[in-house]
Amino acid sequence: NAGVTQTPKFQVLKTGQSMTLQCAQDMNHEYMSWYRQDPGMGLRLIHYSVGAGITDQGEVPNGYNVSRSTTEDFPLRLLSAAPSQTSVYFCASSPRDTDNEQFFGPGTRLTVL
């Protein structure tokens, strides 16, 4: 199993540009989440999904959209990038019927100029 994969690894955007961060998992996990990590802030939840077709907002959802059309994929869309969205983004997945372990991907480092 590849586990949780994220693409791209690095991305530089200009203010106002849009892009999609890709996340895929091959473990048939029902739950998937997006976090951002900023220095001194820990990880903060952006959006999460408890199954295909079901998404909800986390702590810092503004400026981000998500959708979940399949169990495997959970893309994160930035509609109009802002410098405040410069961060490292982590996708995670977890099965429903275990003791809550989340498996994290390797992250995407995004810089918005």
Partner 1 sequence: QQQVKQSPQSLIVQKGGISIINCAYENTAFDYFPWYQQFPGKGPALLIAIRPDVSEKKEGRFTISFNKSAKQFSLHIMDSQPGDSATYFCAASPSGGGANSKLTFGKGITLSVRP
Contacts to partner 1 by CB under 8 A = 4, 31-33, 35, 40-45, 48-50, 56, 58-59, 90, 92, 94, 96, 98-107
State the Cα–Cα distance between residues 15 and 95, nearest whole angstrom.
Answer: 36
> Omega of the bond prior to 106 within 30 degrees of 0, cis?
no
Buried b (16+ CB within 10 A) or exposed e, 47-67: bbbeebeebeebebbeebebe
Comparing CB distances to partner 1, the nearer of 35 and 64 is: 35
Q: How far is the CB of 51 from partner 1 (least distance, A)?
A: 8
Comparing CB distances to partner 1, the nearer of 14 and 42 is: 42
Q: Select from 25, 27, 40 the least CA-distant residue to 90.
A: 25
Comparing CB distances to partner 1, the nearer of 61 and 63 is: 61
Q: How far is the CB of 107 from partner 1 (least distance, A)?
A: 5
